[in-house]
């Protein structure tokens, strides 16, 4: 037995005999499951990356909110009658994203922390409900509970003075982008842009965090890491060739969804093969049409 296997075996043993260690293990897996990985070490690396990015961007509340949201959602998931899914961290990842998103778009107030706790609890309820509805078509809930929960809180923030929505963009009618200087691929910073795409999965634009996320993915699955980088690169290429807004491309906003699409189609829900590579390629390309369509619709 090699060293890594021995450590993993000992950790598994600790989780089986100690409820506190088991809860920590599941919480870490919840963070990792944002990128479809069922690995506590990956989750730990992801948390470290999140703290580095949050402090680097002057928003430490996003890091603490992430931990709080994951812990609350993981605790709530204990009351769902599906221990297998709970142990895999599948009830924690939506709360993790809720905890990152709300401090990113709302000012830090006491009410904000209450919304993170409430939103994380609701995300678990939404996960169970949406999964039950979609099981007929064998479709996973994925991050739909996070999106719906966060939308409700952010939309409600306009009605409450205790929730400062100053971080939200001002609504405007859609209008054509007349022209945009070439970004991403053509600005000489392709490496940073690709890593920004990976880090934007957690709503950060950080090269350091993006690099750590890739490392965390590689710990669990080298294919996941490869598809994450490849998906981000292909998204940047596509957005740049289509003449997307330079700022959005360079910051990774056109790539984060493609990263998740590539990981999901390429390695998490399929065994890597040439045919799967074709599915993934098409999925990422089409994703570049879907991503900018949401701001127009909403």
Provide the pLDDT for residue 78: 97
Q: Which CATH number characterizes residue 38's domain?
A: 1.10.3430.10
Residue 80's region, left for phi above 0, alpha for psi from -120 to 50, else beta, is beta
Residue-range definition of the domain harbouring residue 247 = 173-298
Residue 183: pLDDT band (50, 70, 90) is very low
* Model confidence band, residue 177 (pLDDT cutoffs 50, 70, 90): low
In the chain, % of residues over pLDDT 70: 90
What's the whole-number average pLDDT of the chain? 90
Residue 149 to residue 143: CA distance in whole angstroms: 10
DSSP for 120-152 reads HHHHHHHHHHHHHHHGGGT---TTHHHHHHHHH
Q: What is the pLDDT of residues 246-258, one digit of tens each?
A: 888 888 899 999 9
Name the residue with tokens 């098409």. 282
Q: Indicate whether 113 and 182 sit together in one domain.
A: no
* 159, 32: one domain: yes
Tally of domains in the chain: 2
Record the tokens describing residue 20, joined without a space. Answer: 């506190």
- Tell me how far apart the alpha carbons of residues 262 and 85 are, in angstroms, rounded to a whole number: 23
pLDDT (0 to 100) of residue 184: 43
Give residue for tokens 């330079």: 246
Q: Identify which of 289, 278, 298, 214 has the alpha carbon closest to the alpha carbon of residue 35.
A: 214
Quick one: tokens of 236?
């940047």
Average pLDDT over residues 191-201: 96
Domain co-membership, 121 together with 211? no
Choose the final residue of a domain: 118, 147, 166.
166
- Residues 137 and 15 grouped into a single domain: yes
Residue 133: the pLDDT is 93
Looking at 141, 166, 191, which one is the last position of a domain? Answer: 166
Alpha-carbon gap, residue 287 to 266, rounded angstroms: 14
**H helix or E strand, kind and range, residue 104:** helix 93-105
Last residue in a domain, options 144, 166, 188: 166
Confidence of residue 175 (pLDDT cuts 50, 70, 90): low
25-29, 123-127, 160-164: least confident range: 160-164
Query: Does 38 map to a domain?
Result: yes
The pLDDT of residue 33 is above 50: yes
* In the predicted structure, residue 41 carries a pLDDT above the cut 80: yes
Confidence at residue 3, expressed as pLDDT on a 0 to 100 scale: 67
Helix 190-199 vs helix 256-263: crossing angle, to nearest 10:
70
Given a contact cutoff of 8 angstroms between Cβ atoms, the answer to whether 122 and 151 are in contact is no
Residue 2 lies in a domain: no
Higher local confidence (pLDDT), 29 or 13? 29
- Find out whether 25 and 92 touch, Cβ atoms under 8 Å: no
CB neighbour list of residue 121: distance below 8 Å, 6 or more residues apart: 72, 73, 76, 95
Check whether residue 117 and residue 197 sit in a common domain.
no
Average pLDDT over residues 217-237: 97
Q: Distance (Å, rounded) from C-alpha 204 to C-alpha 210?
A: 9
Dihedral sign, Cα of residue 37, residue 41, residue 42, residue 43:
positive
**Quick one: 260 and 210 in the same domain?**
yes
């Amino acid at each position: 037995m090699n060293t890594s296997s021995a450590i993993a075996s000992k950790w598994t043993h600790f989780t089986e005999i100690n409820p506190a260690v088991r809860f920590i293990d599941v919480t870490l897996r919840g963070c990792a499951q944002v990128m479809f990985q069922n690995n506590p070490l990956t989750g730990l690396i992801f948390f470290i990356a999140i703290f580095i990015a949050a402090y680097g961007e002057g928003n430490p509340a996003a890091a603490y909110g992430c931990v709080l949201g994951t812990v609350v959602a993981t605790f709530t998931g204990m009351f769902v009658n599906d221990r297998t899914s709970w142990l895999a961290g599948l009830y924690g990842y939506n709360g993790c994203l809720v905890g990152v998103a709300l401090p990113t778009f709302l000012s830090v107030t006491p009410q904000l922390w209450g919304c993170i706790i409430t939103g994380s609890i609701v995300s678990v309820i939404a996960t169970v409900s949406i999964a039950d509805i979609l099981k007929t078509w064998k479709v996973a809930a994925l991050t739909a509970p996070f999106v719906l929960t966060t939308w409700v809180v952010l939309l409600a923030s306009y009605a409450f003075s205790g929730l400062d929505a100053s971080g939200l963009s001002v609504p405007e009618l859609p209008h054509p982008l007349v022209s945009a200087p070439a970004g991403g691929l053509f600005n000489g910073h392709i490496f940073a842009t690709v890593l920004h795409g990976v880090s934007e999965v957690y709503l950060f634009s950080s090269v350091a965090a993006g690099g750590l996320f890739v490392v965390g993915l590689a710990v669990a699955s080298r294919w996941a890491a490869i598809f994450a980088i490849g998906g981000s690169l292909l998204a940047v290429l596509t957005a740049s060739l289509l003449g997307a807004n330079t700022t959005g491309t360079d910051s990774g906003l056109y790539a984060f969804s493609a990263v998740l699409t590539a990981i999901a189609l390429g390695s998490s829900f399929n065994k890597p093969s040439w045919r799967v590579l074709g599915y993934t390629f098409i999925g990422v390309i089409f994703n570049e049409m879907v991503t900018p369509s949401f701001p127009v619709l909403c």
